[in-house]
Structure 1
Amino acid sequence: MDSDARPLEGNPVQTTATYPLMQWSDHERKRHFRSTYDGGWLRSRPSLIGVVLITAITHENPATREELIEEVRTSAHPDTPLGPSLWKDPSCLDTEEIAEQLCQRGEADRYAAHYGLPPLMTINGVIELLLAARVLYEIRDALGVLRLHPAHPVPPIADVLPVGDGFDG
């Protein structure tokens, strides 16, 4: 693996080499998407964790952070672009939505703490979590630009995040 790949250490889960998306066939991309789905990533809480990972996998070429963040912002909420926060303003939520958001924040904070990261507040924070969990790698391309590559194979969410016993992934 490239010496600029991150993270280099820390997660006991071993993933294999990461391959640039531009060299994958449509069949391989679909298989990768399926393993992400089967691994429980689309049932993550907050769901934006899975959205960031799927967006990285389905992006035509390995994306920069800025490209990935912009694509997630516009695809997740095309009518109202996502602001810098992952979380909705509680004053805009009803009581049930506030309770759900508090629960999701607690889970997200637990995931971040597992890797010694600050609480997840932004899409970039989600990217940092996925890097720490070795689900995404940040690798310099030939021009020296850092690009995000998903791990291959993508490990199940329960192998890299403390999802708890009640997780149905």
Structure 2
Amino acid sequence: MNTQQVLSDAFGRVQEEVHAVVDGLSAEQLAFRPDGHGNSIGWLIWHLTRVQDDHVADAAGLDQVWVGDRWCDHFGLPFAAEDIGYGHTEAQVASVRSVTAAQLRGYFDAVHEQTLTYVGKLSGPALDRVVDERWTPHVTLGVRLISVISDDLQHVGQAAYVRGLLKSD
């Protein structure tokens, strides 16, 4: 397996899980918040997609799909276009309540396509390129991509847990 295959497989697993979590759910179910305070499935999937879009686009020198393809307009959320959900308050999480499974899948799939196109061109040595000097040690492309995959899998796992709570109600 080469670099492109490993990264494509990892991002593909995220896509499979995102689809499994949102498929068949109504906007109301996507907005359900455990105990009325936790993160909803809709917010979690939106957020993990925004993080992937933001981080991969930045590392690749590309426009974010959220802005470039006007997904920010399609969702109609009360956030600035550059907002990725990091540090959102309970009220901000609660405002993600009218998104649909089709919107979440569509946006995620568009980001996934851009990600796969980018990682499909990478070689092993490219992963050593520093993409963020704000941290010590500096963040390389390889570390950034693994960080995105890890973050995505954690959030989609949280969303799957919330989906499981829907079945027990």
Work out whether the TM-score is over 0.5. no
TM-score normalised according to structure 1 size = 0.30
Q: Which has the higher helix share?
A: 2
Q: Could you tell me the TM-score, scaled by structure 2's length? A: 0.30
